[in-house]
Amino acid sequence: MELCQNLIVIFAGKDGSRLLNDLITVDIETMDMKLYNTKLWNVYPSPRYRHASAVFSEVGSQGETKQQHLFIDGGRNFEKSFGDSFAYDVVANKWVKVRMTGEILPVRHSHSLCPASDTSFYLTGGLINDSEFQINTCLYLLNFAELTCLVSVQNRNLPPIFGHTSHVYKQEDKGTRWLILVGGIVPYCPYSMVTLYDLENHCVKIQLRVGGDCLMSNHTSHIVDGELLCVVGGGGFMSNFGIFYNRRVKSFSLQEMVSSVNTVEKFPSLDNYVNVKKEKPAEKKSPNDTKPNYEQNLYFEKQDS
C-alpha cells in the first residue's frame, strides 16, 4: 500500500489460499474506491505476495517532475520467487515493465524498499534465490530514469533480515542520513530489533532490541512529522502463546534514537524506556540515570458509549 498523487494504491497480496493481482485505489479527498481488473491491461504483474512497493517520480529533461509511479518489485507465488519489476502510472492507468540495468538482482521476496530521493530507492533484506535460508545482505541503490532502473551495490554486509520495513531519516542539525530497518525476522534472534545504519559512513551503528510484547513482523511503519517512527499492526507466532497480534502502536523518537548511538550498549533493551499513554505512577530515577526515553506505547482500547 502506497500513497501516490492523491491516491492510496493497493496491489496484490494473498486471500487465504488465493493469490491476487487486483489493483485498488482510494481517493483520499473523496474516499472513492475503485477496483481494477487486470483484464484492462496488456502488461501487468502476475499474482503475487511478499513483494515490495514504493513510489518514484518520473523526471523530465529539465529536471521537472512529470509523473509519479507505483513501483512493484519481486515477490513470490506458491511455487517460486520473482525477479521482475513493474511501474504503475496512476494518471494513464497502465502498467509498464521496468528494465533493470547494472548489478543483477537475485529473485527475491519479503524484502523492503524505501525512497533515497524522488527517483531512487534503497533495497534491503529479503529471501533470495528461492531459498528459505538464503537472506540478502546487500544494500542496493535503485536509480530511475525514464522507467529504466540502474542497480548498484552500496554495501554487501548488512545484517541478514527479512519481513521488515525501512525508512531514510535525515538528522537536520547534523546533516546525517540514517537508514532505519524496522523489525522483521533475524535468524536465531528471539526478539524484534530496530537497526540504525549510517548512510554517510556505510556501517551499522546500533541495533535496538524491542520488548517481547511487540513482534515487528507483518507490520507497517511510518515516519510522522519527520521525527516519530510509528509501527502499526503485525504480529507472529510465539511458541508459548501461539499466534500473537500487536494491539498497540509503537512510537519511537528518531532524534533520541540516533542521539543515543554512542552512549548505549550495542543491543539495548527498550523495555526500560516505555511511556504508556494511560496514567501511571512516575518511577523514581537516580540523577545519574541518562538512558534515553525514545519509545512510547499508544494503546487502542474500546471506549464505553
Q: What is the DSSP string of 45-109?
A: PPS-BS-EEEEEEEE-TTS-EEEEEEEEE--B-SS-BB--EEEEETTTTEEEEPEEEESPPPPEE
* pLDDT at residue 64, as a whole number: 59
All three cell numbers of 299, joined, read 494503546
Task: Classify domain 2-162 at the CATH topology level.
Answer: Neuraminidase (2.120.10)
pLDDT digits (tens, 9 = 90+) for 59-70: 666 655 567 889
**Amino acid 107: pLDDT:** 96
Of 77 and 247, the structure prediction assigns the larger pLDDT to 77
Cα(55)–Cα(71) distance, integer angstroms: 6
Read off the pLDDT of residues 218-231 as tens digits, 9 standing for 90 and up: 888 998 888 888 88
Contact 81, 74 (CB under 8 A): yes
Cα(45)–Cα(60) distance, rounded to whole angstroms? 26
pLDDT tens digit sequence for 199-217? 999 998 888 887 666 778 8
Residue boundaries of the structural domains of the chain: 2-162
Would you state the torsion angle of the CA atoms of residues 211, 214, 220, 221, taken in this order, to the nearest 10 degrees?
-30
Which of these, 114, 116, 3, lies nearest to 69 by C-alpha position? 3
Cell of residue 139, nine digits: 544494500
Per-residue pLDDT averaged across 6-17, rounded? 86
Give the pLDDT of residue 292. Answer: 42
